[in-house]
Amino acid sequence: MSRKPCCVGEGLKKGAWTAEEDKKLISYIHEHGEGGWRDIPQKAGLKRCGKSCRLRWTNYLKPDIKRGEFSYEEEQIIIMLHASRGNKWSVIGRHLPKRTDNEVKNYWNTHLKKRLIDNGIDPVTHKPLDSSNPGPAVPKKFDCQDKSLPDEHSVQWSSTTPASPLSSTINSVKPKISSGETQIESGFLRCKKRFERSSSTSRLLNKVAARASSIGNILSTSIEGTLSSPASSSCLPDSFSQSSEHMIDNKEDLSTSIDINIPEYDFPQFLEQFINDNDEAENTGGSNQDLLMSDVPSTFVDEDDIIGDITSWSTYLLDHPNFMYESDQDSEEKNFL
DNA sequence: AACAGTCTCAACCGCCTCGAG
DNA sequence: TCTCGAGGCGGTTGAGACTGT
């Protein structure tokens, strides 16, 4: 049995909305609120189907919709969540305040997907496209290389540079250097350079990728409230359960209070902490597994406790909601140069 | 200036989910 | 338990804008 299309009707208008129609819809919703979409066209005096009205409202007319260019941070969030959730645009959209799922979907299809492919990353699996080579397949050049930068700022990956799927994917999105290129390097690029100098580059990159992937899972899972069920949380340490409850309690905050444009940026600090923690762990024999060749799946599960201290990890995220955001250039220069 | 090719994104289509009766 | 329908979701389309020649 096939259902009749909802928008079959005599004289129903299709296509682009006019300013007049927008005005009618807005004033009706302001007066009566959302919902009851089927009846709205008639009541608002529109020759549109209810579904069309709903879409127009949610994707375009709603007052708290943010339009325009996606920031680098928003791009990272999209990639991270896409790696862990796939084409769940509504889920991804919920993590981007004021962005609609439709906008996220469009942006992925027209920008990010293309960029990943250009950099040799499969946008579906988030793994290097050259799957015939099981080794450390990587883009020929570090993907954050900005053509506008002087040569000394171009980081070349060596053939042994590791690339877990997510690290490859995230690397593949060139940060947008703000106009004027006064931010000679983004914090991201500097982090990469720092990693290059590190003797444990491979492990670090893989772990960062693994943890980053997990952040996506943690955030998604917690915000959707699945961690609140005893069944799902019972397998986790008590400390994490408490932490996740804390996250759930704050899900409203997470979804609404994060201002993507906040210029604060703790990523360097986070990396410092991460590197220190990692070094400590290695010195004490706590982490001796080289993940260089490991294939961290996009839906990475920390079964082997690679993300050992998940409580402090999630706590860090809660305390530093802007950890991925661009820093003040000066303070960052001090940290990295 | 004119045309063709490409890109962007608002809007549509059809299937799915879930709650009400 | 089943059916129905509203709302939600993801995939796709196509008009208009943009870019290159």
Residue A130 is predicted with a pLDDT of: 65
CA of A334 to C1' of C18 (A): 42
Residue A138 amino acid letter: V
Of the two residues A219 and A146, the one the predictor is more confident about is A219
Chain C nucleotides close to protein (CB under 7 A) are 4-12, 15-16
Residue A278 is predicted with a pLDDT of: 39
Q: Is the pLDDT score of A53 beyond 70? A: yes
What is the token pair recorded at A51?
Answer: 């579904």
Q: Is the pLDDT score of A114 beyond 80? A: yes
pTM: 0.53
Q: Is the pLDDT score of A325 beyond 70? A: no
Tell me what percent of chain A is helix, strand and coil, each rounded to the nearest 5: 55, 0, 45
Mean pLDDT of A25-36: 86
| CA separation for the pair A79, A105 (Å, rounded) | 11
Under 8 Å CB-to-CB from A106, ≥6 apart: which residues? none
Residue A260 amino acid letter: I
Name the residue with the least CA to C1' distance from nucleotide C9.
A90
Chain B nucleotides close to protein (CB under 7 A) are 7-16
Q: Which nucleotide comes closest to A106 if you measure CA to C1'?
A: B9
**Cβ-based contacts with strand C at under 7 Å:** A 1, 6, 15-16, 35-38, 50-51, 54-55, 58, 87-91, 101-102, 105-106, 109
Residue A65 amino acid letter: I
CA of A101 to C1' of C7 (A): 15
Confidence band, pLDDT 50/70/90 cuts, at residue A6: low
